[in-house]
Structures are given as C-alpha cells and as structure tokens.
Amino acid sequence: MTRKFWFTLILFIVVTACASYGLSKRVRLERDNQSIAIIADYREVAGLAKNSGLEIDEALRILTANGMRGLMVSELTGDNITHGVGQAELKEAKFPERGIEGTIITIMPSSPYKDLLNEWLRVRFAVNDSDNRTGALFVPMSFNVLKTAGIIPDIDGLEAARRNNLPIYYRPAPSPGHLSERASIMLKRVHDKYDVAVFTPAGEIVSGYPDVSIMARTAHELKLPLALVEFSKQLGEPALNRLASPLLIPLHSVTNEEMSARRITRAALRDRLVRAAVERSVRLLLLRTAPPTSAEFVFADFANEVKILADELTSRGFEMAMPGAVFADGNLNTNIFAAVALSIMLAFSLCAYLVRMGMTPDYKVGALFVAGCVVLSVLVWKVGFIARLAGALTAPLIAVEASLIAMDSGKNKNILYSFIFAVVGGLSLASFFSVTSYMLRLQTFSGVKFTLILPPVMVLLHDLKNRIHPESLIEFLSRPPLWGELVMIGVLLAGVGLIIFRSGNVTFIPGFEARIRETLERLLIARPRTREVFVGYPSLLLLNFLVSRNLFAHYRELFRIGVALGFSSVINSFCHFHTPLMMILLREFNGLWTGLLVGIIAVLLVKLVVIPCLKLIRPLIS
C-alpha cells in the first residue's frame, strides 16, 4: 500500500465523519417528518356528494375513513357568490345624483350564521356597526372590482370541517389595495374560531403585493404554517415564503386545467403525488376531483382514489396525519464540521486537477492542500458569498475528479473507488447546504448548472493537454475535421444543450422516458437518474472496452465526456437538498448497478454485433 493510498483513506474517513456530524440534524428531521395529509377541496367534494345523493357529512366521513386528513376551504369572492356559492348576495348600486357607485352585499336572512357573517362583513370591509343596521352592506367599490376580491369565508366548508374534526387548509382571497390588511385580520378571526392548520393566499397576486409582510407577520403571530405550493406562479409568493420562513409546509397540487391540457391520467396523478412525497419531502397533497366535464367520475371513484393514494403512502412508511412545519422550532444552520468537509473536498479536487494538468508539482500539493483547507474552512463557515462560491466550484470539481479516477487505468477496477469518491464528495456538499433555505428551496444552489457544464469541458481540456486524445488542441484545430468528428461534436452539443434545458424542466420529458421512469420507480423504489443509467456508467464500460482493444481512438472522447456527465448527475443528486438523504443514497446505489448492467449489455452488443458488422462492411466500401 502506497503513502498516497493511506493519505486518501484518512482523507475519506475525516470527510465522512465531519459530513456525517453535519448531516445528523437533517437525518433526524427527515426521520421524524413522516406525517402527511391528503387534502380535498370542500366545494369539489360537496358537488360530487350532491350528484351521488350523499349528505356532505356522510361523504366526508367516507373520505376520512379512506385516508383524507384535511379539507381545503376558501374565502368566497364576488364571482363565487354571483354563481350561487355561499350564503350572501351581491347587487350593483348606482346613485348618479350623488356620484356614487358601488355594491350592496346582503347576508341571506335564512342563513343560520347570519349574525357571524354580518360581523365578518363589517370586519372585512372596515365598516362600523352603525353603518350596517339593516343587514345590507353598501361597499363603495364596483362589482367588477369585487369579482376577484374576498367577501366572506365559506362558512359551510368551515362548519363541515368542524363537525367532522378535519383540520382546515384555508385560502384567503385577494383584497382591494386599500383593504389589503383586512385579509390578514379575517385570517385571524377564522383561525380563532376554527381549526385552521395551514393557509395559502388565493388568487394570481398575493394580497397586499408588493408589501406581503402583513400576511407573513400574521403567520408568525399565530404560529400558523404557510403552505409552500410547488411550481406556483403567484405574484408575490416567493417574497411571502421567505418572510414566513421557517413556518412552511410544502404542498403539491395539479389543477384540473393542467390535467386536461397535458392529458394527465388519474393513475399518473396519483403517481405524481407519491413522487412529490417520497422524492421532494412534500407533506401536503391536494387531490383534485376530475374536471366538471367528466360526467363518468363520481364520488365513489374519488373516495377510492383517496384510499389507493393513502395505502400507497402508508406502505412507504408515512403516517396519515396533518403535518406541522418541519423547522417550526427554528432554522437549521450549518456548522464548522460541515465547513471542514466541504473545504477538504474542494481543496483535494482542485489540487488533484492542477497536478493532472501539470500546473503544480506533487511536492507542493501537501502545503497548498493544508493551507487551503484551514483558510477555506473558516471562510466558508463565516462568509456567505464565499460559501456559495465554494459550493458552486466544489460540485463540478468532485465530478471531474471522480470521472478521471474512473477512467485512469482503462480498466474497470477503479469504478468502485470513483463511486465512493463521488458519494463522499456529495455528502460533504449535502452536509454544508442542508439548511432551512435550501431544504425548503427558498434559495437555489448555484452549483447545479456549473456541474452540468464544467465537468465535460474540464475533462476535454485535461485529455487534450495530456494527449489522452491522440492529438493536441493545436493539432486538432490545424487540420480539416473528419466527418465522424463533426457528427460527434454535433451529438455532444445537442446532448449538453438538452441536459441543460431539461435541468429542472419536468415538462420536457418524452412519453417513452416517462414510462421507463415509472417502471423503475415501481421496481426499485428510488429511481436511478437517467444520465447515470443510460449515459455515465455505460460510457465508462464501453470506453474501457475500446481502450483494451485499441479501437476508435479518435472517437473515445465522446465516451469520456459521457462518463463526466454521468458523475455530474451523481453529484447533482446530493444537491437536491429537499430530497431525503436515504433516498439519495439508495438512488445512487441503484444507479450504479443498473448502469453497469446496461453498460455490460452495451459492451456485448458492440463486441458481438457492431464490430463484426463493421468488419463485413469495410471491404465493401474500400
């Protein structure tokens, strides 16, 4: 055993120990955060129940028995009320002689909650008791303004939730600009009287935007979590999430419009909700009913869907209950041990690349490495900008070094070593960036895009500098290109462009790939990433096979870049800080063995089919 081996082994042990300590709080939080709630929209359930001849309470009891644990109740807007929803009426009022135009809001006299609703109306529109003696409230705002504005809470939904002991997911509607604080006040009133467990402002714009601090302040006053809706495009929502942090619970939902536009089946919808829970730590699942045009979809179908979804979640270890905010007791912060782990991996990967490029001799690396680790550990722990920069550089450098380790000998013996190096490096990144802002996706990790772009470029530069490719960069540029090289360059550019475009873009996935993903998820629980299974590990085995047979020297670079893309994917998996750590480790293990299996098949095809065919074709074209 060489001195280099023992140095590397000690390094791995130190980094793993420091990273494990840095990840200990995250692992405990993920272990304890197993409560999950299926939520349904009260108005959608009421419509299905009515069409099936069921009373709403009976329908809710069935859904609760099947696994539903929350009910979404919204504040009613003017548009809702004019379509017959709720227990109020709107009427336009114009007084030309006085130059007054507005809307009269009346609570139905037959309502059993008319006193409470009248009180809420006065609160909502800041009207004194003396102005509302008749029970009809005049609001000096046009009907068009009130169409999308909140009028009164949906008392039917609130009462139904209370009768059936269901926690409420409440959605305050927008307010006109000068009454933006009223939405917050009404939220407090509803929270005081009913079991509101979580809320999210409704509408295209957060009430009060651009100043969303009032709603965030209310969340902190009430200790009421805000639902962090995935992929939301609501204006002002990112600012509200930041201000309400850490009182956030991730929620996933698919609207009926999206289901129709993208032709999402009900089975695919359930799979999507399960993936959100398992892979992204989403703990609120809003299950919509089918669009109103789906006449064949009845209450029994929806109740069965709730049961299937709940059974799938419980089989994966979740508890069906309304969750709380994971970080309600305070933000999760990094520590010096995590900083040490990150700094060691950055310094080691950088020094290794500099030595490979001949930029520094081996005897200077030791001093450079030790000095760099000491200084970096302090800087990344204390200085936010340097920490972000260090993360952005460490991720691609680890991917590059793991790739070069795997390809060093042209044999397969280094695969396990390179995999361990990538996993240890990934744990160092995860340990440092496993903090509230990244785990809740309030802050974007800057290393993801770098890890997609830099490793292939750095591997290519390394190969040209060290003549691993048969030609140097100058020789390559000074001669006419070969047709095969032009095709290879085109394939590379197209592939890299596609990977960058698809990063974080879940909509750009062909149907056959979606089916492969679903199959792998069902079989393996943690689906390995496509770039590892079908690009990275197969490229590595094919490369080693071609090197051992001294074949296609001018075209091996394509496979070397494929290896870099595969290890980039490994590192990026650890940069998904919202994904449970055990799921990431299982995913990478599955990626290793399935990728090697695909690679073995690819090598056999090349050996038994491609090469013999080329030998037959060559005499015909010579």
Angle at 251 between CA 246 and CA 252, to 5 degrees: 150
- Distance in angstroms (rounded) separating the CA atoms of residues 423 and 12: 10
Query: Is the per-residue pLDDT at 193 higher than 90?
Result: yes
The per-residue pLDDT for 271 is: 87
User: CA separation (Å) from 124 to 127, 139, 179?
Assistant: 8, 11, 8
Q: Are 150 and 171 in contact (CB under 8 A)?
A: no
Lookup: tokens for 489: 């360059």
- Distance in angstroms (rounded) separating the CA atoms of residues 190 and 251: 21
- Distance in angstroms (rounded) separating the CA atoms of residues 71 and 54: 17
Query: What does the pLDDT average to over 332-343?
Result: 90
Question: What are the pLDDT digits (tens) for 569-600?
Answer: 999 999 999 999 999 999 999 999 999 999 99
Strands 100-107 and 88-95: antiparallel
Query: Hey, what amino acid is at 305?
Result: E
- Distance in angstroms (rounded) separating the CA atoms of residues 521 and 271: 10
What string of H, E and C letters represents the secondary structure of 582-598?
HHHHHHHHHHHHHHHHH
Q: Does residue 285 sit in helix, strand or coil?
A: strand
pLDDT band of 157, cuts 50, 70, 90 = very high
Look at 294 and 437; give whichever has higher pLDDT. 437
State residue 457 phi and psi, 5-degree precision. Answer: -65, -45
pLDDT band of 621, cuts 50, 70, 90 = very low
Q: Are 397 and 350 in contact (CB under 8 A)?
A: yes
Lookup: tokens for 213: 């601090």
Lookup: tokens for 200: 């999210």
User: CA separation (Å) from 326 to 281, 283, 329, 398, 453?
Assistant: 10, 10, 8, 31, 34
- Distance in angstroms (rounded) separating the CA atoms of residues 55 and 414: 66
The per-residue pLDDT for 494 is: 60
The per-residue pLDDT for 138 is: 84
pLDDT band of 547, cuts 50, 70, 90 = confident
Domains of the chain with bracketed CATH: 3-28+330-621 (no CATH), 34-320 (3.20.20)
Q: Does residue 85 sit in helix, strand or coil?
A: coil
The per-residue pLDDT for 493 is: 58
Question: What are the pLDDT digits (tens) for 88-97?
Answer: 888 888 766 5
Question: What are the pLDDT digits (tens) for 375-403?
Answer: 888 888 888 888 999 999 999 999 999 99
Question: What are the pLDDT digits (tens) for 132-155?
Answer: 445 688 888 888 888 888 899 999
Query: Is the per-residue pLDDT at 433 higher than 90?
Result: yes
Question: What are the pLDDT digits (tens) for 261-301?
Answer: 777 888 888 988 998 999 899 999 999 987 655 567 889 99
- Distance in angstroms (rounded) separating the CA atoms of residues 549 and 195: 71
Query: Hey, what amino acid is at 144?
Result: N
Of 187, 221, 217, 220, nearest in space to 201 by CA: 187
Residues whose CB falls within 8 Å of the CB of residue 396, separated by 6 or more in sequence, listed in order: 447, 450, 451, 453, 454, 455, 458, 568, 571
User: CA separation (Å) from 364 to 287, 288, 579?
Assistant: 60, 63, 39
Angle at 547 between CA 542 and CA 552, to 5 degrees: 80
- Distance in angstroms (rounded) separating the CA atoms of residues 99 and 78: 23
Q: Are 38 and 287 in contact (CB under 8 A)?
A: yes
Question: What are the pLDDT digits (tens) for 71-87?
Answer: 999 999 989 998 889 88
Angle at 227 between CA 226 and CA 231, to 5 degrees: 135
Query: Is the per-residue pLDDT at 523 higher than 80?
Result: no
Lookup: tokens for 513: 């790939």
Lookup: tokens for 151: 């009028």
Lookup: tokens for 484: 């095969």
Of 558, 35, 548, nearest in space to 284 by CA: 35
Q: Does residue 40 sit in helix, strand or coil?
A: strand
Q: Are 253 and 286 in contact (CB under 8 A)?
A: yes
- Distance in angstroms (rounded) separating the CA atoms of residues 14 and 11: 5
